[in-house]
Structure 1
């Protein structure tokens, strides 16, 4: 048993693994609702109300399970309309630009893995991160990839970066889906804390917690060390 570790950036690592890249969630991780540190959870209830499904039912799985192409298409249109209205209210999380500028200066690869569709993701990048490159970008519309908490998106990113596996990656997110997807993929996980996810601090899939994105700068400078023992 040992904690997940990565060597400080700009070192060869020695016996400690070297970080290969970072995967970020989007809603609630890179952006938040205007005037709040929280993701825009209200829109999920709007989606469920519009689709006629109860809380706890996974929206994406519900849509994919609808019996006809027309039903699926109509449901997707409803969800996208709600997301488009929400995206105009999105603001960057505190420390977002500082962290991304730092990672860019260190040539750290970055990718996105989100359950959003492309529109809000592209809006965030264009509005706040126009000089930054994220590749691959995995959304719920990426073909043949199951959404989080399935690890498929993170594993796809590892392959795109020509890595044997995801053990050299960090998954940064704000939800259990993010932590579970990262853990199942074999990546280290970082939870961005907010008022709604305090119970995930001690979850078995959470390696490290931060309160602001730019706290990750010091973590990477001094060497990532998770707080939980791993096999």
Structure 2
């Protein structure tokens, strides 16, 4: 399935406070999409070094692009098996991000829809949810195994979620939360507001024009959403991570 490029709505993005005392006509937030590795769980950067070594490629080559370009189904299957083996081993060491449960409990109380859009395959995603968020529902869940959707940084996964939620404004009433340029670009291109979870490797993205807001912990989002999301993609100066 081909990607559907969108014209992103004007910035800065704004959503009505979830505390329910907003004045005037403000956009109501309809749902939040989360990345997984580095967002719901602590980053496991070493995986990508191991994956590239297993495939014999360097850092300049995108792993999924390399696999798609392999000359046969057999070669692609062998490469995918190597990647899956590394992810299965790494998932046993997953650690939840600080503030993960607090944020999800808050969103549950607010009846806020949540979905996942990740380039991980299904097993580590299921492992994380079963071990750290067993009482929370994410629907839909877009993984590397989801057929007919181009992976991030393409907006296809986020637009698919918007259609599943029956939104008539594509992703313009949604937020994408992630830790990578692929997350920010996919969300921005789909029309969603974007939130960067800052870590030691992605601080250069704080001022990227695809980033609307920055946070240093997941539960920083609670006060932001409660009082009204206001993006600031000039430098993330509205962020609690400054």
| Superposed pair shares fold, TM > 0.5 | yes
Residue 71 of structure 2 corresponds to residue 67 of structure 1: yes
Task: Decide which of 191, 201, 210 is 2:206's aligned counterpart.
Answer: 201
Q: Is the 8 A contact 1:12 1:18 kept in 2?
A: no
CA distance in 2, matches of 1:50, 1:228: 37
Q: What corresponds to 1:183 in structure 2?
A: 188
CA distance in 2, matches of 1:90, 1:127: 9
Residue 159 of structure 2 corresponds to residue 150 of structure 1: no
Q: Normalized against structure 2, the TM-score is what?
A: 0.90
CA distance in 1, matches of 2:213, 2:60: 26
Q: CA deviation at 1:10?
A: 4.3
Q: CA deviation at 1:16?
A: 1.1
Q: What corresponds to 2:178 in structure 1?
A: 173
Once the two structures are superposed, residues 138-190 of structure 1 have per-residue CA deviations (whole angstroms, 9 ceiling, x without a partner) of: 00110000110000000000000001210000000000000000000000000
Task: Decide which of 80, 85, 105 is 1:81's aligned counterpart.
Answer: 85
Residue 117 of structure 2 corresponds to residue 113 of structure 1: yes
Q: What corresponds to 2:237 in structure 1?
A: none
Q: Secondary structure at the match of 2:233?
A: strand
Q: CA deviation at 1:11?
A: 2.7
Q: Secondary structure at the match of 2:214?
A: strand
CA distance in 2, matches of 1:23, 1:2: 19
Q: CA deviation at 1:228?
A: 2.6
Residue 23 of structure 2 corresponds to residue 17 of structure 1: no
Segments of structure 2 that go 5 or more residues without pairing to the other structure are 1-9, 235-242
Task: Decide which of 195, 206, 211 is 2:216's aligned counterpart.
Answer: 211
CA distance in 2, matches of 1:98, 1:65: 42
Q: CA deviation at 1:3?
A: 1.5
CA RMSD of aligned residues (A): 1.1
Residue 227 of structure 2 corresponds to residue 222 of structure 1: yes
Q: What corresponds to 1:7 in structure 2?
A: 16
CA distance in 1, matches of 2:48, 2:233: 31
| Corresponding residue pairs, total | 223
Q: Secondary structure at the match of 1:56?
A: coil
Task: Decide which of 51, 54, 61 is 2:58's aligned counterpart.
Answer: 54
Q: Normalized against structure 1, the TM-score is what?
A: 0.94
CA distance in 1, matches of 2:181, 2:198: 12
CA distance in 1, matches of 2:11, 2:60: 34
Q: What corresponds to 1:129 in structure 2?
A: 133
Q: Is the 8 A contact 1:4 1:228 kept in 2?
A: no
Segments of structure 1 that go 5 or more residues without pairing to the other structure are 33-38
CA distance in 2, matches of 1:28, 1:196: 11
Q: Which structure shows the bigger proportion of residues in strand conformation?
A: 1
Task: Decide which of 104, 108, 116 is 1:104's aligned counterpart.
Answer: 108
Q: Is the 8 A contact 1:51 1:75 kept in 2?
A: yes
